Chains A and B, each alone.
Chain A
Amino acid sequence: MSSTHNSSGPNWKNPIVKWVDHRLPIFSFAQHSLIDYPTPRNLSYWWNYGSLLGIVLVIMIATGVFLSFNYTAHVDLAFDSVERIMRDVNYGWLIRYIHMNGASMFFLLVYIHIFRGLYYGSYKAPREILWIIGVLILLTMMATAFVGYVLPWGQMSFWGATVITNLFSVIPFVGPDIVTWLWGGFSVDNPTLNRFFSLHYLLPFVIFGLVFLHLWALHTHKSNNPLGIEAKGDKDEIPFHPYYTIKDLFGLGVFMIFFMGVVFFAPNLFGEPENYLRANPLVTPPAIVPEWYFLPYYAILRAVPDNFVDAWGLLPVIIDAKTSGVIAMFASILLLCLLPWLDRSKVRSARFRPIYKQLYWIFFADCLLLGYVGAQPAEGTMLLIGRIATFWYFFHLLILIPFVPLIEKTKELPASISEAVLGNDEKVGEAAE
C-alpha cells in the first residue's frame, strides 16, 4: 500500500476513472485518505465517535433541508407550520423527530468525543490546532442548536431566546445596542425569528467547513490512540479500510439502534413539554430551562454570585451584576482552547498518569453534576452545590491540570504500539478488541 502514497496516485485501470483522476485526483484522494490511510492498530471503540459525528451532521443537514421546505419563519405561522409538518406532511413527523433528537444525539456524541480526547490527551502536540478547531466546532454547534430551538416558536423557544440574547447586554458600553441589533427590534419578535432561521441554515455549513479543517489537521498527524504514543511504521498501523470502515459501520449500527429507538418510541424524551405551547410574550413559563446539552453552562452562568466582582472591588465600572456569570460561562468553553498549553505533561494517555486519571473522573462527575444543577431552580442547597461544582471546573482546568504534572510520577510507556498490543499484555491489548 505504501506505493500509493506518492503524488502520482495508484494506476487506475478504468479509463474514465483514469481520465478524471488525471485532471482532478479525487479517486487518488479517496484512496489515500479513506482506504490506505494508515491508522493506529489499537484504536478502541471510543474512536468511533468522530465518524458518527460526521454522519449525524449529514443527517441533520439532510433532514433540515426537508423541514425547511415546509417551515414558515413568521411569529404567527411558525408554530402551526411545525404542527403541519407533524400531521400533514408525508413522514414529516419522522423527519422532524430525527432532526429534533438528532440535535441531542449530536451533543451526546460530541461530549463523549471531547471526553475521549481529554482522557487520552489527544489535544497535545502536535494536535493543538486539531483540538482548537474541535472547540470551535462545539461553539458553532451550540449557536446552531440555540437558534434552531427558537424556530418552532414554542414557549421555551421564545423565553430561551429572550434570556440568552439578553446575555449580550453585559458587553461593556455597547451591550444594549448589540442586543437590539441581534433582535432587529426592541424585543424577541418576527425579525429575530427570521434571522435565526437564516442563521440556522447558514451555520451548519460553517460547521461543515470547520469539520473539513478538523479532518485535514487530523490526517496531517493521524489519530492519537489509547496508549498516547506515536505510531511508528507499518507494524503499528493498519489501513483504514477495511479495518476501521467495518468497525465504524458496526458502531454506526449500534448507535442507530439507540437513536432510532428514541425517535420512534420516546421522541420527546429530551424535549421540554412547555415548548408544545405556542410562544406567548405575556406569559412567562414557571421555569425557563435550556435543552439538556446546555445545562452545565447554564449552571455555571447562574452559579457566580451577582456581587462576585464587586466584592473583590475589581472593575466595578465595567462589570456589573450578571457580567461575571456570563464571562464564567463563555470562559468555561474557551478555556478548553488553552488546554494544550495548560497541560504540561509529556505523557498523553491517562493510562500512564495515575493522578490525572483520578482527577479526570472527578472532572467528568463534576460536569454531570453541573448538568443536574442546571436543571434545578438556582436556590438554597442547589445553588451552593452549583457554586462548588463551578469552582471545581475552573480549579481543575487552571490549577490541577498545570500543576499535577509537577508531582505526578507517570508509568513507563511501552516502546511501541505493536509491542504493547501483540506482546500479550492483557490490559493494553483489550483496547483493540
Chain B
Amino acid sequence: MKTLISVFVTAFLFILLVSPINQSLAAGGATPPPKLSWSFKGPFGSFDRKQLKRGWQVYKEVCAGCHSLNQIYYRNLVDIGFSASQVKVIASEDEVPAGPNDEGETHDEGGEVLVRPGKPFDKLKKPYPNENAARVANNGALPPDLSLTTKAHSTGVDYIAAVLTGYVDAPAGFNLGDGMYYNTYYSGNQIAMPSPLAEDAVEFADGTKATVKQMALDVSTFLAWAAEPEMEERKRLGIKVMIFLIVLTALLFALKRKIWADIH
C-alpha cells in the first residue's frame, strides 16, 4: 500500500511539473487574463444554451464580418439549441458560392461569383474568398479563423474574453503602430483589430442587456463550444467511465488480496 501511495504522489508531482510548462509559454509582454468562472468548466460543467445562442448572435452580427469559423457547419448549430428547421432558415439567409453551373460557369456575366442560398450541410459562410482579400480589407492584417482559438491559447477562453474587453488608451510614450490599437491582454499590446464590441452592438433575442462585458462572455462561450463541440458528451461519458473503473479496480484489489493471502 505504501508503494501505491508513492505512485500516486509521483503522478501528482508529475502533473504539477508539467502544468507550468504550458503556462510558461503564454504570450510575452501581455498581462495574463483574469480567470473568470464559466458554466462549462469542471468535470460536470456544461454550456448554457441561452448563452450559446447569444454568443452565436454576437459572432454572426459582429465577428463574422471579418473572422471565419471554418470547422463549423450550419448543421452544427442544432447542438446549441436551434431546431433543424431553424437551422435551415439560418443557412438559407446566407449566400454561399454555388460552384460551376450546368454550363460550367462559376461567374455570371457581371463577373460576380455565382451563389445559392446556404444549406445545413454547408460550412458557415466565409467573410473573404481568400487570404489576400482578407488582408487588403484589414490594413494588411489577417483576421484569424476562430474555430480553435480557445484551444490554441494556453489561457483558453479567459484569453478571448480578456482581449475583447481589454481595449484601453495606449499609455503615454507607448509607440503604437499605424492602424494598430492598444490592448492590455494581447501579445505585445498591439492589435490590428479595433475594439469590436460597443454597447448595444446587438439586440439579444432573449432580452438580455447587450453590454460589452455580456457580449464578450457570450461570444467567448460560443467560441469555446466551437472549439470543443464534443466537450459535454466527453464529460458525461467520462463520469460513467470513471465510476466503472473505480468499481472494477476496487474489485480487482479485493481479488488480489484474496489470491495473495496465502503467499504472505
Give how many B residues have a beta carbon under 8 Å from the other chain's beta carbons. Answer: 51
Give how many A residues have a beta carbon under 8 Å from the other chain's beta carbons. Answer: 54
Contact for A94 among B4, B19, B234, B242, CB less than 8 A: B234
Q: Are A260 and B229 touching (Cβ within 8 A)?
A: no
Taking CB atoms, residues of chain A closer than 8 Å to B2 are 430, 433
Q: Are A45 and B249 touching (Cβ within 8 A)?
A: no
A38 vs chain B, min Cβ distance (A): 14
Question: Which residues of chain B from 1 to 41 have a CB within 8 Å of any chain A CB?
Answer: 1-4, 7, 10-11, 14-15, 17-19, 21-22, 24-25, 27-28
Decide if B245 is an interface residue (CB 8 Å cutoff): yes
Distance A170 CA – B11 CA, assembled complex (angstroms): 37
Taking CB atoms, residues of chain B closer than 8 Å to A268 are 151
Distance A263 CA – B43 CA, assembled complex (angstroms): 12
Closest chain B residue, CB of each to CB of A84:
B71
Taking CB atoms, residues of chain A closer than 8 Å to B252 are 246, 249-250, 253
B237 vs chain A, min Cβ distance (A): 7
Distance A93 CA – B14 CA, assembled complex (angstroms): 25
Interface 1/0s, chain A 243-257, versus B by CB < 8 A? 100110110011011
Taking CB atoms, residues of chain B closer than 8 Å to A310 are none
B202 vs chain A, min Cβ distance (A): 27
Decide if A41 is an interface residue (CB 8 Å cutoff): yes
Q: Are B234 and A289 touching (Cβ within 8 A)?
A: no
Closest chain A residue, CB of each to CB of B260:
A243
Distance A300 CA – B123 CA, assembled complex (angstroms): 46
Taking CB atoms, residues of chain B closer than 8 Å to A201 are none
Given the contacts A87-B71, A87-B229, A274-B152, A243 and B263 also touching, CB distance less than 8 Å: yes
Closest chain B residue, CB of each to CB of A375:
B21
Q: Are B17 and A86 touching (Cβ within 8 A)?
A: no
Distance A363 CA – B256 CA, assembled complex (angstroms): 34
Q: Are B234 and A247 touching (Cβ within 8 A)?
A: no
Decide if A265 is an interface residue (CB 8 Å cutoff): yes
Taking CB atoms, residues of chain B closer than 8 Å to A27 are none
B42 vs chain A, min Cβ distance (A): 9
Decide if A371 is an interface residue (CB 8 Å cutoff): yes
Decide if B126 is an interface residue (CB 8 Å cutoff): no
Question: Contacts A267-B234, A375-B21 given; 20 further ones with Cβ under 8 A?
Answer: A80-B70, A94-B234, A108-B14, A246-B259, A250-B255, A253-B253, A254-B4, A254-B249, A260-B241, A261-B238, A264-B235, A264-B241, A269-B19, A271-B22, A276-B152, A276-B227, A277-B152, A286-B187, A292-B18, A433-B2
List the interface of chain B (C-beta within 8 A of A).
Answer: 1-4, 7, 10-11, 14-15, 17-19, 21-22, 24-25, 27-28, 43, 70-71, 76, 147-148, 151-154, 156, 187, 227, 229-230, 234-235, 237-238, 241-242, 245-246, 248-249, 252-253, 255-256, 259-260, 263-264
26 A–B contacts from the bound complex (CB under 8 Å):
A45-B4, A80-B70, A80-B71, A83-B147, A108-B14, A238-B263, A242-B259, A250-B256, A253-B249, A253-B253, A257-B245, A257-B246, A261-B242, A263-B238, A269-B22, A273-B156, A276-B148, A276-B227, A277-B148, A277-B152, A289-B21, A371-B17, A430-B3, A432-B263, A433-B2, A433-B264
